[in-house]
Chain A
């Protein structure tokens, strides 16, 4: 069934019942794997992603070069961010066989690697590598955004210093490129069906600011609509950041309650002397 745009213009509701500026449900967990330095699990709607971070650590002598491009690695002054993505065969409706050298996956890997390398303080870890391993369990649109969010959470869990969260989401437009529809609305957080039918872009921002860390647009979109889409996307990123931040805080507070970490000085105590 093509996206029922006529229904949208009547009730202003999308195929899954959301309004134009609503995110899907985001559920996230950190520290899901005890053996890893950092790990996370993230759901954006039905897109489900798992992330494991190992490092920063210095690779042994006999390891081959890893994929990814952010930072140098090896003997350089900055840590290398190596990203590896595995898309499970059962993750989408049709079972697609993706080889190791799949161009689509390689592009996702290098995008994530560069985005995170810009936010992480890689200069603190010379000669080392940060290995980020992402597993896609289920796909329903906004895959790149989900991967970036999961990777950010796992890096926070791994205790790697960073400038700020890199939070991502997608934005689209209610009309196709060809339809010269003046009344096209921007859409926030596209699902798979919308991604198939409509133009869209993925945007990631650095924390609370409006600084765009990633902007990927793979479809034809009229330039006049781009601005609205970007604005909605940037706004969605801030909502995502809040959600990610809350996940981290709740975990941290739980750890303090359990006594795993002792309490630090509160920010208010500091002003006393």
Chain B
């Protein structure tokens, strides 16, 4: 059977393989030179972990080509140098003056020297003498004071377990919520028995990180009128702080937006963990009989009566449409790698309203995917 030998095709994704007429002894030299002990006997296995291997049989000239040589660095046609990011296992420095931070570990370099090595694909950041690697993308890591949106996944005896998009579930103790009836009300055993009347599985809450455990777990609290159960809106999960785009920590995570097209006021809550809540703005209802009374805790008392309700209010179709439009804006921002904060969402929303006006369907058109999203992103980055 005749065989035609074709030269291997050069693929775009693969570097040109060097087919050189190496002397056959060079073939394995890379494998052996890596470990220090040069064992001249074939079949030597050093006990310190590195395996030194000599091939029993070597072919000469015809078949020998370089198995592994230092690859020429591929030309990245850009201003960003290859050293801009580090990848797992890449040695950052052996200089002992630096301390290692997150995303790094110590590995032993030669001669008992310790090298700070990256354990992530990301960028190197420096805080004084502390070196850390910020990942290109990772899950949310909680910090004290973060405003987060979460979902209750488990109800326990005295606390709830909340999914906040972190590596662990956060805890929300019964003692850290505002009980109906004002701040001064004492927590009783009845409350423990009725724990599901406050939050049940699947409920969405907005809360603040109060405390962190040593292992990275978070404890939340909702002891403010700003926090508590969420209703009248739509939930969306985008990537949060920790790496990549998405929601960033900023001065204001919660604000009310006056929607166009008779949409009325709309609340936007950007959880630092990347969970977003967009809802109709509802003014706290003060019943007639309570209006005459005075007192510091009065408002809180009245408001807290409706605080743990899971019943949605009536939402006008116009409001729903504008909520959907804001949701589209946030999705478009994330898809195009832009940061999500008050400024961008507000600008993006105004831009989206303009875009809808010129579209065929008029202001009712809330579609912001695909080209429309790119158009929106382009308009925002141009400003």
A74: interface (CB < 8 Å): no
**Contact A25–B14 (Cβ < 8 Å):** yes
Chain B nearest CB: distance from A269 CB in Å? Answer: 8
Contacting residues, chain A, for B3 (C-beta < 8 A): 7, 10-11, 13
B291: interface (CB < 8 Å): no
Chain B nearest CB: distance from A65 CB in Å? Answer: 17
**Contact A252–B124 (Cβ < 8 Å):** no
B123: interface (CB < 8 Å): yes
**Contact B93–A267 (Cβ < 8 Å):** yes
Name B126's contact: one of A11, A232, A270 (CB within 8 Å). Answer: A270
Contacting residues, chain B, for A26 (C-beta < 8 A): 13-14
Contacting residues, chain B, for A126 (C-beta < 8 A): 168, 215-216
Chain A nearest CB: distance from B31 CB in Å? Answer: 5
B355: interface (CB < 8 Å): no
Q: Which of B56-86 contact A (CB under 8 A)?
A: 56-57, 59, 62-63, 65, 67-68, 71, 74, 76, 78, 80-86
Name B5's contact: one of A13, A249, A264 (CB within 8 Å). Answer: A13
Q: Chain B: how many interface residues by the 8 Å CB criterion?
A: 86
B370: interface (CB < 8 Å): no
**Contact B153–A61 (Cβ < 8 Å):** yes
Contacting residues, chain B, for A249 (C-beta < 8 A): 82, 85, 87, 121
Name A57's contact: one of B6, B119, B167 (CB within 8 Å). Answer: B167
**Contact A265–B57 (Cβ < 8 Å):** no
**Contact A227–B50 (Cβ < 8 Å):** no
Cα A127 to Cα B161 with chains together (Å): 13
A266 nearest CB neighbor, chain B only: B83
**Contact A263–B123 (Cβ < 8 Å):** yes
**Contact A235–B31 (Cβ < 8 Å):** yes
Cα A4 to Cα B1 with chains together (Å): 9
- Known interface pairs A159-B135, A267-B83. Does A128 touch B168 (Cβ–Cβ under 8 Å)? yes
**Contact B167–A165 (Cβ < 8 Å):** no
Cα A207 to Cα B87 with chains together (Å): 11
**Contact B56–A158 (Cβ < 8 Å):** no
Contacting residues, chain A, for B57 (C-beta < 8 A): 182-186, 228
**Contact A228–B139 (Cβ < 8 Å):** no
Cα A158 to Cα B161 with chains together (Å): 24
Chain B nearest CB: distance from A265 CB in Å? Answer: 5
Contacting residues, chain B, for A60 (C-beta < 8 A): 153-154, 163
B21: interface (CB < 8 Å): no
Q: Chain A: how many interface residues by the 8 Å CB criterion?
A: 92
A-B pair count, CB < 8 Å, reads 245
**Contact A255–B63 (Cβ < 8 Å):** no
Name the segment of B238-246, B292-300, B343-351 touching the other chain. Answer: B238-246
Name the segment of A101-109, A133-141, A236-244 touching the other chain. Answer: A236-244
Q: Which of B71-109 contact A (CB under 8 A)?
A: 71, 74, 76, 78, 80-89, 92-93, 95, 98, 103, 105, 107
Contacting residues, chain B, for A22 (C-beta < 8 A): 8, 17, 65
Name B119's contact: one of A55, A121, A227 (CB within 8 Å). Answer: A121
B112: interface (CB < 8 Å): no
A180: interface (CB < 8 Å): no
Q: Residue-by-residue, is A152-170 near B (CB-CB < 8 Å gives 1, otherwise 0)?
A: 0000111111111100000
Q: Which of B238-259 contact A (CB under 8 A)?
A: 242-245
Q: Residue-by-residue, is A183-222 near B (CB-CB < 8 Å gives 1, otherwise 0)?
A: 1111010000000000000000001111110000000000
Cα A121 to Cα B100 with chains together (Å): 15
Cα A25 to Cα B119 with chains together (Å): 27
**Contact A224–B93 (Cβ < 8 Å):** no
Chain B nearest CB: distance from A226 CB in Å? Answer: 9
B133 nearest CB neighbor, chain A only: A264
Chain A nearest CB: distance from B14 CB in Å? Answer: 6
- Known interface pairs A231-B31, A252-B85. Does A61 touch B154 (Cβ–Cβ under 8 Å)? yes
**Contact B169–A156 (Cβ < 8 Å):** no
Chain B nearest CB: distance from A203 CB in Å? Answer: 10
Known contacts A19-B63, A25-B13, A161-B105; 17 additional CB pairs below 8 A are A21-B63, A56-B167, A61-B161, A165-B87, A182-B57, A185-B57, A185-B63, A186-B57, A188-B67, A211-B49, A227-B55, A231-B55, A232-B55, A250-B76, A252-B122, A261-B122, A266-B81
Q: Supply 9 A–B pairs (Cβ within 8 Å), ascending by A.
A: A25-B11, A60-B153, A186-B57, A210-B35, A231-B53, A252-B121, A259-B337, A260-B244, A267-B124
Query: Which 7 A-B residue pairings sit nearest by Cβ, starting from the closest?
Result: A264-B123, A159-B138, A164-B89, A159-B135, A161-B119, A252-B85, A260-B337
